[in-house]
């Protein structure tokens, strides 16, 4: 660019040199950003690495970020380069402009369309195939985990708390949740009143809790630690207070806790309705009883 130029066009050679500079700056910035996102920030990305589901989701977010960030950075690089180099001045009120370049346009459409189509395919595959991405697949899941389920936890939502029922421990019910590490877990999620959502954030599990529906989700625990359980479906005035915390503990610790709870809650467990996949309030309302679905006579305690 020289001061004698007064048109809005520049020569092909100048154009090529600008393109080389833009691409050069963009490549350096994009490689640094992608490196940082994949290796430095990546391992800390939500939802963490506590279960196979969480790890899978973290991997998906990393892949999507690493592909999307260079697109954003190219737009920013081009934008800032244009502001710096192609702006107008006193002798040239209108800046340089780029138009009618078929190669550039074609490249832009082909690259962005390929990226979007790849991400749609990748996203769909990742959402479905690894055991349904912890999202709850209804009562009879099509995609099940490759390792056999070792522990079944029933999650019962109600306004405004979660309780947990353990069919392998005599059908006892607890208000807190502990899970053993290195264990394939099946969550059977249901509700006894309105629609809630069981969102165990760090476990990568988020499944709707609907009355009269058994919604199944899976996760395999891989790390010890604390996780948050939060209702993620507006369910009434105290929806915001509907959360608690759980822990992934050693298998021995879990066994000790569960058997102790089973003993401690035995008198209460006796009064609970028989373990069932869903529960509906008794139509007589007598004694606040609940009967298992499909049992209109209400054989409750």
Q: How many residues does the chain have?
A: 301
At its nearest, how many Å lie between Cu ion and the CB of residue 275? Answer: 24
**What are the residues whose beta carbons fall under 8 Å from the beta carbon of 267, sequence distance 6 or more?**
none
- Cβ distance to Cu ion smaller for residue 229 or 235: 235
**CA distance from start to end of the chain:** 88
Query: At 65, which helix (H) or strand (E)?
Result: helix 52-85
At its nearest, how many Å lie between Cu ion and the CB of residue 226? Answer: 21
Count of residues near Cu ion by CB under 5 A: 5
Q: Name which of residues 147 to 166 contact Cu ion (CB under 5 A).
A: none
Q: Does 229 bind Cu ion (CB under 5 A)?
A: no
- Cβ distance to Cu ion smaller for residue 49 or 235: 235
- Six-digit token pair at 63? 């892949």
Q: CA 262, CA 266: separation in Å to the nearest integer?
A: 6
Q: CA 167, CA 164: separation in Å to the nearest integer?
A: 10
- Cβ distance to Cu ion smaller for residue 96 or 187: 187
**Region of 26-34, 65-73, 121-129, 231-239 interacting with Cu ion (CB under 5 A):** 231-239
Residue 211's beta-bridge partner residues? 191
**Region of 31-39, 73-81, 138-146, 237-245 interacting with Cu ion (CB under 5 A):** 237-245
The pairing of strands 196-200 and 225-231 is antiparallel
At its nearest, how many Å lie between Cu ion and the CB of residue 288? Answer: 21
DSSP letter (8 states) at residue 275: P
Q: Does 239 bind Cu ion (CB under 5 A)?
A: yes
| Residue whose structure tokens are 């954030």 | 201
At its nearest, how many Å lie between Cu ion and the CB of residue 234? Answer: 6
Contact assessment for residue 154 and residue 188, using Cβ atoms and an 8 Å cutoff:
yes
Site string for Cu ion, 187-216 (x = CB under 5 A): ---------x--------------------
**Region of 1-9, 85-93, 140-148, 242-250 interacting with Cu ion (CB under 5 A):** 242-250
User: Under the rule (CB under 5 A), what is the footprint of Cu ion?
Assistant: 196, 231, 235, 239, 242
């Amino acid at each position: 660019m020289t001061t004698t130029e007064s048109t809005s066009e520049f020569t092909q050679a100048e154009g090529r040199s600008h393109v080389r500079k833009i691409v050069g700056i963009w490549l350096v910035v994009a490689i640094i950003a992608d490196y940082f996102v994949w290796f430095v920030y990546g391992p800390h990305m939500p939802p963490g690495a506590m279960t196979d589901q969480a790890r899978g989701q973290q991997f998906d977010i990393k892949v999507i970020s690493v592909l999307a960030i260079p697109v954003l950075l190219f737009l920013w690089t081009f934008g800032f380069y244009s502001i710096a180099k192609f702006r107008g001045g006193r002798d040239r009120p209108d800046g340089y402009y780029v138009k009618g370049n078929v190669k550039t346009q074609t490249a832009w459409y082909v690259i962005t369309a390929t990226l979007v189509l790849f991400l749609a395919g990748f996203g769909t595959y990742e959402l479905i195939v690894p055991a349904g991405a912890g999202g709850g697949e209804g009562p009879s899941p099509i995609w099940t985990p490759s390792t056999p389920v070792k522990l079944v936890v029933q999650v019962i939502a109600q306004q405004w708390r979660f309780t947990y029922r353990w069919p392998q421990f005599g059908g006892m019910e607890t208000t807190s949740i502990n899970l053993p590490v290195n264990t394939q877990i099946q969550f059977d999620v249901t509700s006894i009143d309105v629609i809630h959502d069981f969102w165990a954030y760090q476990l990568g599990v988020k499944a709707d809790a609907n009355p009269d529906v058994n919604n199944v989700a899976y996760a395999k625990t891989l790390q010890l630690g604390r996780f948050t359980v939060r209702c993620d479906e507006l369910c009434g005035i105290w929806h915001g207070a509907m959360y608690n915390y759980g822990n992934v503990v050693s298998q021995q610790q879990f066994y000790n806790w569960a058997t102790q709870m089973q003993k401690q809650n035995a008198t209460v467990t006796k009064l609970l309705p028989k373990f069932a996949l869903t529960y509906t309030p008794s139509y007589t309302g007598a004694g606040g009883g609940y009967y298992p679905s499909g049992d209109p006579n209400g054989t409750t305690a």
